Structure 1
Amino acid sequence: MKQIELDDRIIHGAISLEHKGEYVKPWRINYKEKDFYTPNQLNGQAEVPAGVRISFLSNTDKIKLEIAPSPLELEFDILIDNELFRTIVVDANKTFLEAADLPNQTKRLDIYLSQRNKVELKALWIAEDASFQPFNDTRKKWMTYGSSITQCYLAESPSQTWPAITAKELDLNLVCLGYSGECQYEPMTARMIRDTSVDFIHLNASINSYNAETYNHRTFQAVVIGFIKIIREKHKNVPIVLSSSIYGAHRETTENIVGFTLAQMRDEVEEVINIFRKNGDERIFYINGLDIFGAEHGYLLPDNLHPNAEGYKLMGQNFANAFKPYIK
């Protein structure tokens, strides 16, 4: 087999790549500034490669991907021409995955990395006599920022998260900034979005701030407004969709320590959009999270917070339908 270099020509969906000796580590922040993403690189979530994939064109009938040993089980998806071919589970401390029965015609191959645990890549191999070409993704780049509900730990597999499903439906180049527990609207994340070339931005607000009781009625809107203002410093005409939380069970009517219910936070998120539009921003839009996943879908929340695999598939389809008017 012949080795293919692992670099940004074929690794898509990462913000940066760290070269660590023989390994390449995808990050969903700029790793050179990682110390500024407190605490601990967003509590380790920036290292988890949700939405990151290796993409190339080849007629190879086999592939092998070497990885660093992990103390945790890792899951990968192989897609052929944007359709799921196989999910491969790599046991803890194992160092490779492979598939030896691929169709031998020229095709686009995507290897989606785990959305649950960090992955360090060592080497990619294809058949010795196979053709190879990096996938030049010219589709519109979409960046989505959110919580664990955007990282999608409980999705059936890495390519079946709601952002991946939405990206497939709308033919978008996905960059997923779903950080479990860490969607707190920090200025460093706003700066990163501002400084990244992108065609369409989606931001989700409220569930992490509700659960962590981060902001109160005095501070919540101000933080969200400031976050968007930072993004608008460079992305002046890029469509931004701000969505509120999906259905949150008891949180809808139960006040947290700072006096917020999730329903109240949803109202404040919508008011943020009204403020921007009143002041001349006609490229910012609101989606009510209940229109994506409402009370009628509560049976798909096994822990009364996170959707299960079926719930994420539903969200993927509903977000695709909701985003269509804003992607032009």
Structure 2
Amino acid sequence: MIEIDISDAILRGAAELERTANGILTHRLPLDARQRFSDPQLTMAESQPSGARLVFTTAATTIEIDAVATRRTFLGLPPRPAGLFDLRVDGVLTDRAPTTGGVTTIIDMATGSVNNQVESSGLIRFSGLAHADKLVEIWLPHNEAIELVALRTDGPVTPVEDERPKWINYGSSISQGSNATGPSTTWTALAAAAADVQLRNLGFGGSALLDQFVARTIRDAPADLISLEIGINLVNSDVMRLRAFTSAVHGFLDTIRDGHPDTPILVISAMLCPIHESTPGPGAFDPAALASGTIEFMATGDPAEVRTGKLTLEVVREELARIVADRAGDDTHLHNLGGLNLYGHNDSDEHPLPDRLHPDQATHELIARRFVDTAFADGGPFARQ
């Protein structure tokens, strides 16, 4: 087996690679952005490499990765499924391998205590590959932090140039991929594959809060296409009211435009989430569901407070449409996509949200198809020129 250097030459979809005591930790936000916040939720989400993948050509028949995964579970509830490495060969998903070992953070929601169980690094192994030149993509888990300790193959690898359009998508856990079965089958990854573009995923679970350091990250990054999924986290975190929301959206767009004056920007308003359609946040775990050993979410706000500026998904969609329409006169490359066109009221019976917040795998696939059919269609905001 040959030891392969893990570097930017073969690792796509990350902002930076941090050298750690174990190996390489991927970050989806650069250091200057990470220095702007200390929120543990965003710290966790940005270190989970959704959209990041190892890409190279090789005739190797066996590939091995030593990795340390960091995952979290909740005391008294079934453990969450292990993160997966997805192997795609010449664009086709051919194998999956779960993470093992690493660090498991156990959270007691009753007391707030946190305990860590530490095991050795795990081995991810793909074998039986064809002994012929092929394009290999190994997508890193979208829902666990991963330190890459070593990469080995039984044949040399060659980095590849990728001239396809670069697509940045910003958003919530739905964009990060919550409840998708694997990292290459989140709606964003599926849409990128179908549209034949390069994905950089800035979906951050619980943390799509219009932070200016994220806007600056998008401003400074190479991008041919930009989409912004905005809404659900602002409602379920209850961080701002309508007055602040309107200003924050304008500021976010203004900052991005400083670096991308003519790049198509597609603003995606919230997809259907019945608990927050007309009920403000904050969102919370449903105690009755927890008592039965499952995780479901609920809205705890008072609908009467909407008239004083509290946000609901209905309010957010209306305001985003108004903001985009107002700016479109001076910005012909700015577009709005109502989230209900991707997942709406007519879909909830056939594709209910399992935890009342996050889509399942079938719904990720539905959202991806509709996004591609809308955004990349002839005459659409992302149509090839």
Q: TM-score range by the shorter chain?
A: over 0.9
Report what 1:294 is aligned to.
Answer: 344
Instruction: Give 1:304 deviation, angstroms.
Output: 1.7
The correspondence of residues 1-328 of structure 1 with structure 2, limited to 5 A, is 1-31=1-31, 33-40=33-40, 42-68=42-68, 70=70, 73-93=82-102, 94-127=121-154, 130-256=155-281, 257=301, 259=306, 260-278=311-329, 280-299=330-349, 300=351, 301-324=353-376, 325-327=380-382, 328=384
Contact 2:86 2:95 (8 Å CA) reproduced: yes
Q: Does structure 1 conserve the Cα–Cα contact (< 8 Å) formed by 2:69 and 2:145? A: no
Bigger Rg, which one: 2
CA drift of 1:42 comes to 1.6
**Contact (CA 8 Å) 1:298, 1:304: kept in 2 or not?**
no
CA separation in 1, counterparts of 2:43 and 2:262? Answer: 32
Q: Does the Cα contact within 8 Å between 2:18 and 2:26 map onto a contact in 1? A: yes
Q: Distance in 1 between matches of 2:17 and 2:269?
A: 31
Question: 2:15 is matched by which residue type in structure 1?
Answer: I
Structure 2: distance between partners of 1:70 and 1:176: 20
- Residue type of the partner of 2:36? F
Shift of residue 126 of structure 1?
1.0
Return the offset for 1:70. 4.2
Secondary structure of the residue aligned to 1:184 is coil
What is the number of residues matched between the two proteins?
325
Q: Amino acid of the residue matched to residue 375 of structure 2?
A: F
C-alpha distance in structure 2 between counterparts of 1:143 and 1:192, whole Å:
11
Secondary structure of 1:60's aligned partner: coil
RMSD in angstroms over aligned alpha carbons? 1.5
Distance in 2 (alpha carbons) for counterparts of 1:197 and 1:69: 29
C-alpha deviation, 1:67, in angstroms: 1.1
Question: Do 1:151 and 1:179's aligned partners in 2 also have CA atoms closer than 8 Å?
Answer: yes
When normalised by structure 1's length, the TM-score is: 0.95
Deviations, residues 98-127 of structure 1 (Å, cap 9, x unaligned):
111011111000100011110010111111
Structure 2: any 5+ residue segments left out of the alignment?
A: 73-81, 103-120, 282-300
Instruction: Specify whether residues 191 and 57 from structure 1 end up closer, same or farther in structure 2 by C-alpha distance, changes over 3 A only.
Output: same
Q: Within 1, Cα distance between the matches of 2:227 and 2:127?
A: 38
**1:21-55 superposed Cα distances (whole Å, 9 cap, x missing partner):** 45111101003542213324724111000010000
Distance 1:176 1:58 in 2: 26
Q: Distance in 2 between matches of 1:272 and 1:61?
A: 53
The unaligned stretches of length 5 or more in structure 1 are none
Distance 1:69 1:200 in 2: 31
Aligned to 2:75: none
The structure 1 segments of at least 4 consecutive aligned residues displaced by more than 3 Å after TM superposition are: 69-73, 255-258
Contact persistence 1:17–1:31 (CA under 8 A):
no
User: What is the alpha-carbon distance in structure 2 between the residues aligned to residue 268 and residue 69 of structure 1?
Assistant: 40
The normalised TM-score by structure 2 is 0.81
Measured against aligned partners, the alpha-carbon deviations of 1:246-279 in whole angstroms (never above 9, x if no partner) come to 011132222444523211210001111012113x
In 2: Cα distance, 1:250 partner to 1:37 partner: 29
Aligned-pair identity (%) = 28
Post-superposition Cα deviations, 1:273-324, rounded to whole Å, max 9, x if no partner, equal 012113x100010101000011122142112211111111111111111211
Q: Against the structure 1 CA distance between its residues 271 and 66, is the aligned structure 2 distance closer, same or farther, given a 3 Å change threshold?
A: same
Tell me if the contact between 2:16 and 2:30 (Cα under 8 Å) persists in the aligned partners.
Answer: yes
Is the partner of 1:190 in helix, strand or coil?
helix
Q: Which amino acid aligns with 1:198?
A: A
Q: CA deviation at 1:226?
A: 0.4
Contact 2:191 2:371 in 1 (8 A): yes
Structure-2 separation of matches of 1:220 and 1:32:
24
- How far off is 1:82 after superposition? 1.1
CA pair 227-2 structure 1, distance change in 2 beyond 3 A: same
Cα 1:140–1:71 shift into 2, 3 Å: closer
Amino acid at match of 1:106: D
Of 38-47 and 294-303, deviating more is: 38-47
1:269 alignment partner, SS class = helix
